[in-house]
Amino acid sequence: MNGVRLRPRDVFMTQPPSLRSLLSGIARVADTLAGIVILGVALDHLFALPLPGWGSWRLWGLVPLSLGVWLEASATHAFWTHGHGTPNPESHPARLVVEGPYSWSRHPLYLARHLMLFGSACILASPATAVLTLLLYLVVEFVLIPREEARLAGRFAAEYEAYRRRVSKWVTIRRHQVVSSSGRIPPETSDPPKTHFIGHRKRRS
């Protein structure tokens, strides 16, 4: 390269815009999660919060942590492959993504990050991290999700409303659901499958 050495930032800036957005978003999420965990551990030591018996949960923390990492990767892959975009607000998907984890959760990325934080709290025996995870959930549930869903409803209109009725905010458990080979759920029939929602408020008529 004509003897010119590129700095890491220069190498990053030579990537295609969509890939830059993806990598930037991943780094931002990792920094945020690490910051929450570090703050939680610091609060534990500051207020002497570690509780007797908490350490017995450490190995179990690997379960939600692993699930969270897998779900984060799977949802990001669905954005990249099916939506031709990234979770980074700078590079929105070109269409509404309903494949992969989005076929059973409207917000799998939020779910993944809560799982990773809770798993980290267990592994590190950090009650403060668990409390911070709960506080983050409240912010996500009552501030971020309503704002995001309003934006998606404005962008995709009836398509998003149909998706919102079909898929729960957090976890949808379906019975006898038929899914097409493309991963999309076919239009509702006169005899729709039974669907049970977790994290979904039933509207009053």
Residues whose CB is less than 8 angstroms from the CB of residue 193 and which lie 6 or more positions away in sequence, other chains included: 174, 175, 176, 177, 178
Instruction: Give me the helix-helix angle, 108-123 and 62-82, nearest 10°.
Output: 160
Pick the CATH number of 24-156 from 1.20.120.1630, 2.60.40.10, 1.20.1250.20, 1.10.10.60: 1.20.120.1630
Parts of the chain with a pLDDT under 50:
1-4, 6, 9-14, 176-181, 188-196, 203-205
Which pLDDT score, from 0 to 100, does residue 54 have? 63
DSSP state of 144: I
Which pLDDT score, from 0 to 100, does residue 175 have? 54
pTM value?
0.78
Q: Bridge partners of 197?
A: 172
Which pLDDT score, from 0 to 100, does residue 65 have? 97
DSSP letter string, 141-205: IIIIHHHHHHHHHHHHTHHHHHHHHHS-SSEEEEES----TTSPPPPP-SSPPEEEEES-PPPP-
Q: Bridge partners of 174?
A: 195
